[in-house]
Amino acid sequence: MRRLSNPLAALIAGTACLAGCGGSGGDVVARSGKLELTRGELLASISYDDAADSLVAASMFIEDWRDMAALYQSALEDGVDREPETRRLIETASRQITVQRFIDRKMADASGSGLFRIDASEVRAFYERHPDGFVCSEPHVALVRYYAASAGEAAKLRTIAIETRGTRLPDRIAEAAPSYAELNRKSVSAGRRLRPQSRLFLENTRMRSMLRDMAPGDVSQAIPLNDSLIVVMQLLDRVEPGRRMTLDQCRGDIEELLIVEKQKQYYTTLLEKARETYQ
Judge if 155 and 235 occupy the same domain: yes
Judge if 211 and 191 occupy the same domain: yes
Judge if 232 and 154 occupy the same domain: yes
Domain total for the chain?
3
What are the distances in angstroms from CA 65 to CA 43, 231, 258, 263?
Answer: 13, 36, 40, 35
Under-70 pLDDT residues of the chain: 1-26, 47-54, 165-168
Judge if 180 and 155 occupy the same domain: yes
Virtual CA dihedral for 192, 170, 234, 152, nearest 10 degrees?
160
Look at residue 3 in the predicted model and tell me its pLDDT: 40
Tally Cβ neighbours within 10 Å of residue 222.
18
Look at residue 165 in the predicted model and tell me its pLDDT: 62
CA distance 97 to 103: 10
Q: Which domain holds residue 131?
A: 83-135+245-279
Q: How many CA atoms lie within 13 A of 272 on its CB side?
A: 6
pTM: 0.70
pLDDT digits (tens, 9 = 90+) for 33-89: 999 999 888 888 886 655 556 677 888 889 999 999 999 999 999 999 999 999 999
Look at residue 56 in the predicted model and tell me its pLDDT: 79
Q: How many CA atoms lie within 13 A of 58 on its CB side?
A: 31
CA distance 223 to 213: 15
CA distance 193 to 140: 9
